[in-house]
Amino acid sequence: MKNILALYTSISGDNSLSTQLAKEWLAKQDAKVIERDLATNPVPHLTMETFSGFMTPEEGRSESQQAQAALSDTLIKELKEADTLLISIPMYNFGIPSTLKSWIDYISRAGMTFQYSANGPEGLVKNTRAVVVLTRGGLYQGTEADVQAPFIKLVLGFIGITDVEFIYAEGVAMGEEAKQVAISSAKEKLTAVTA
């Protein structure tokens, strides 16, 4: 059976379009699912104490550094065990929700999810693909203003996830008709994606 790690990042709870689209797709997959709602259960912001704890051997870590590294280890294990990483992402002030950035900061660890070799950086998350659902009030896909998708592609590629499918529901604040068209289009595209 396939493993899916699902990350939800909207602050809107049950009213979230991105979460609803992701969950509707998930319900159709025959897979074991781990769900993380980063809005209600956020990963802390990265601090120097946390980062230096990551770089310190286990026996040299303070108590709080041990707890932070343990959380990071758990998040990385969930990611590495997933065949598919599903992330639902609303656009907030042109970027990704900061809770998702915190998750990225906790799973980006040298020697665990990437390493530098003579050939440059190498991603260590093998055999995981990603499905990314993006919801936006306006229209940005394919323009310079879309900094979300290129950033996610870069970060995931860096850790080894190069198979990334982006599903957009855009223009959802541009009137009811535009919203419904965007939702139908996203659902249709999701139908073609399997875990």
Residue numbers at the binding site for ligand FMN (CB under 6 A)? 10, 12, 16-19, 90-94, 135-138, 172-173
Binding site residue list: 10, 16-18, 91-94, 135-138
Q: How far is the CB of 9 from ligand FMN (least distance, A)?
A: 8
CB of 161 within 8 A of CB of 124? Answer: no
To 10 degrees, what angle do helices 98-107 and 63-81 make?
A: 90
Q: Which is nearer to ligand FMN, 21 or 161 (CB)?
A: 21
Binding site residue list for FMN: 10, 16-18, 91-94, 135-138
Q: How far is the CB of 144 from ligand FMN (least distance, A)?
A: 14
Give dist(CA 71, CA 49) in Å, integer: 14
Residue whose entry in the numeric block shows the structure tokens 């509707």: 24
Q: Which is nearer to ligand FMN, 53 or 90 (CB)?
A: 90
Q: Which is nearer to ligand FMN, 61 or 136 (CB)?
A: 136
Q: How far is the CB of 151 from ligand FMN (least distance, A)?
A: 14
Q: Which is nearer to ligand FMN, 111 or 137 (CB)?
A: 137
Burial class (CB in 10 A: 0-12, 13-18, 19+), 192: exposed
Q: How far is the CB of 179 from ligand FMN (least distance, A)?
A: 9
HSE, side-chain direction, 13 A CA sphere, residue 131 = 26
Q: Does residue 34 sit in helix, strand or coil?
A: strand
Per DSSP, helices labelled H in the chain are 17-27, 48-54, 63-81, 98-107, 148-158, 176-191
Backbone angles phi, psi at 110, to 5 degrees: -55, 135
Q: Which is nearer to ligand FMN, 163 or 188 (CB)?
A: 188
Q: How far is the CB of 56 from ligand FMN (least distance, A)?
A: 36
Burial class (CB in 10 A: 0-12, 13-18, 19+), 23: middle
